[in-house]
Structure 1
């Protein structure tokens, strides 16, 4: 007759079985060390299967591309080094991230897991004399982990495993050629030189730009990459997880088809394709699509006379806010860029371009044009002028003469500002005067759809500046005051 086993004994047996599996397999280890706060999904199982091969001694070069908030750092950078070093206590790990603070977090989380579980699972323990969050070692062994921000000092250090996790912080950095070049220089001159013979490399990113680190590694590196590209919504017949086209990556986390539709409408297709589908479009062009251009006419009679579709709106009779926007780049020569000034009106969530002055102008002519536009459109009380180069001089000359001049800090590059407002075009919230009414609008449309490869971009700069300012200020004053107070 079999002896009855108590619940406590069953729990002890289950834990012992889990501990034995965690000693051998990373898939089980990552669950164990998070003490019930980690759940596997199809995509994390695939990632763990590949990482297991590294822990077991294979030399692999791995690219992991995954949408935000799908567990990539928790699965890899926050946990895998502690498992790898438990199984390989004489190996060295380097983890790099966009900031020193984030890298320190990765070091601390792995050190704490190693300290808690390594003796129980692998019969090794944290060094008593070398246990800093950014640089910790293994007692009586050669192995350990160093964590560093991109550009940080790792002089004299080498790696049998290197993990680079999100070297780019945000879209603003991703759109900067200077920052992308700096990250690549750091890879070529520093990080790549620290890899020991036979070392493995893991690069983890949410993609922002086709010329980011993963884009350059794919184009320039001779390594044989294992590429784990995991889009939020399946779009290929040979999907890595075997999903049908249109199937979400992780419905269990709430990222289902409805979420995808709402998120795409919120961020626009360009950001959606890059950030969530891991398919950044080329930087040259396609920020504004011709199909997104919407028009208005002044009267119902015009709309009927010209036989226009229902998509063409009749201009509202009043606006919630009106403003001027000026791009004042000029050099006083016939070969210089045009000066572009425009008047915009906002009605709820819709934005209307009402007037444009677009021609080559010198300094005195530009000031005269701003005066004339202010007299013509007295309700356009805010005058947005970029506080840079010629614009700064214009602001200084006119600030005591014309009220409402608002200096605009050109935060980010031209493409970053354009990307910020492209969702407004895609959502159908921006309306231009119909070409039958204002033939000059065709120049603006061509600049928009050709940007950033057009010969001139002054109309685009005027447009993106106006929309960024009108959209940013489109909120309740009380809400803005609460935000200012941090409530």
Structure 2
């Protein structure tokens, strides 16, 4: 077409600056597919970890928080390399950014996983919503019902996961890549960033799953504003 890549097709409606804001908001994968008509496969570097900020403490006004769990139930023994049970605690700051405040993870049997959930809930307090995955089928329903009962006194939500892992992680990756995600300085930071950098080709992705789920839970509670009539009239 003789058009420079990135040049606005309809500058009267969306100029270059506005398109740049949209690109930052949706992320590179969605931008390539929706705005360049050039869908690309998810093949590493979904998360630009250099965009993550690390700070010493939560701001005084830290906003709502959730603890999202990704559950496994196999102890490590010998040379086996089982999945981790991971609980990611995330805050949604008043300025719109997100903070990963804590990551708890273990490899244990069902009794040890249950004990970790209860201990972490007590440490977080009743102000932190607990989000649990619910696997399809009767066994998943029974597990969700049992754990919800054991966590009586806390706000608990069970969610069914749909779509592949990379698709579920993409909205969280867009916020990471836009510089809207912070981490609290802690011993878990290095392992978390390594897993993000290797996703979706990493051996384990339990921390990514839990973090993406925590972000989704907070984003659902505080949805993006709707487009106004004046904006829609320009399309």
TM-score (norm 2): 0.83
Deviation at 1:392, TM superposition (A): 4.6
Structure 1 Cα separation of the partners of residues 108 and 141 of structure 2? 16
Return 5+ residue gaps in structure 2 as ranges. Answer: 227-235
The alignment status of 1:400 with 2:149, answered yes or no, reads yes
Structure 1 Cα separation of the partners of residues 65 and 6 of structure 2? 42
Residues 316-335 of structure 1: pairs in structure 2 closer than 5 A: 316-332=59-75, 334=77, 335=80
The alignment status of 1:409 with 2:160, answered yes or no, reads yes
2:115 to 368, 374, 382: 368
The alignment status of 1:284 with 2:43, answered yes or no, reads yes
Deviation at 1:267, TM superposition (A): 1.1
Residues 66 and 217 in structure 2, CA contact (< 8 A), matched pair in contact too: no
Residues 126 and 155 in structure 2, CA contact (< 8 A), matched pair in contact too: no
Q: 1:428 to 1:380 in 2, by over 3 A?
A: farther
- 1:268 is matched with 27
Residues 119-268 of structure 1: pairs in structure 2 closer than 5 A: 241-251=1-11, 254-268=13-27
Structure 2 Cα separation of the partners of residues 246 and 404 of structure 1? 46
Moved over 6 A (4+): none
Q: 1:326 to 1:260 in 2, by over 3 A?
A: same
- 2:91 is matched with 345
Deviations 1:403-427 (A, max 9, x none): 2120011022111111122221122
Structure 1 Cα separation of the partners of residues 141 and 87 of structure 2? 15
Structure 2 Cα separation of the partners of residues 464 and 285 of structure 1? 16
Q: Secondary structure at the match of 2:217?
A: helix
Residues 52 and 181 in structure 2, CA contact (< 8 A), matched pair in contact too: yes
Aligned positions, number: 218
Residues 324 and 380 in structure 1, CA contact (< 8 A), matched pair in contact too: no
Q: Secondary structure at the match of 1:344?
A: strand
Deviation at 1:401, TM superposition (A): 3.0
- 2:196 is matched with 448
Deviations 1:236-266 (A, max 9, x none): xxxxx223454323335x2331331122122
Q: 1:381 to 1:439 in 2, by over 3 A?
A: closer
Q: Secondary structure at the match of 2:98?
A: strand
Structure 2 Cα separation of the partners of residues 382 and 346 of structure 1? 12
Q: 1:428 to 1:393 in 2, by over 3 A?
A: farther
Deviation at 1:286, TM superposition (A): 1.7
- 1:105 is matched with none
Structure 2 Cα separation of the partners of residues 423 and 327 of structure 1? 21
Residues 319 and 345 in structure 1, CA contact (< 8 A), matched pair in contact too: yes
- 1:463 is matched with 211
TM-score (norm 1): 0.42
Deviations 1:125-172 (A, max 9, x none): xxxxxxxxxxxxxxxxxxxxxxxxxxxxxxxxxxxxxxxxxxxxxxxx
Deviation at 1:380, TM superposition (A): 4.1
Deviation at 1:354, TM superposition (A): 1.6
Deviations 1:427-464 (A, max 9, x none): 22211123xxx132111111111111000000001100
Q: 1:388 to 1:258 in 2, by over 3 A?
A: same
Residues 74 and 107 in structure 2, CA contact (< 8 A), matched pair in contact too: no
- 2:131 is matched with 384
Return 5+ residue gaps in structure 1 as ranges. Answer: 1-240, 299-314, 481-487
1:474 to 204, 222, 229: 222
Structure 2 Cα separation of the partners of residues 318 and 379 of structure 1? 17
CA RMSD of aligned residues (A): 2.4
Structure 1 Cα separation of the partners of residues 115 and 91 of structure 2? 22
Deviation at 1:391, TM superposition (A): 6.1
Structure 2 Cα separation of the partners of residues 392 and 332 of structure 1? 23
Structure 1 Cα separation of the partners of residues 23 and 3 of structure 2? 20
Residues 327 and 339 in structure 1, CA contact (< 8 A), matched pair in contact too: yes
The structure having more radius of gyration, on CA atoms, is: 1
Residues 297 and 433 in structure 1, CA contact (< 8 A), matched pair in contact too: yes
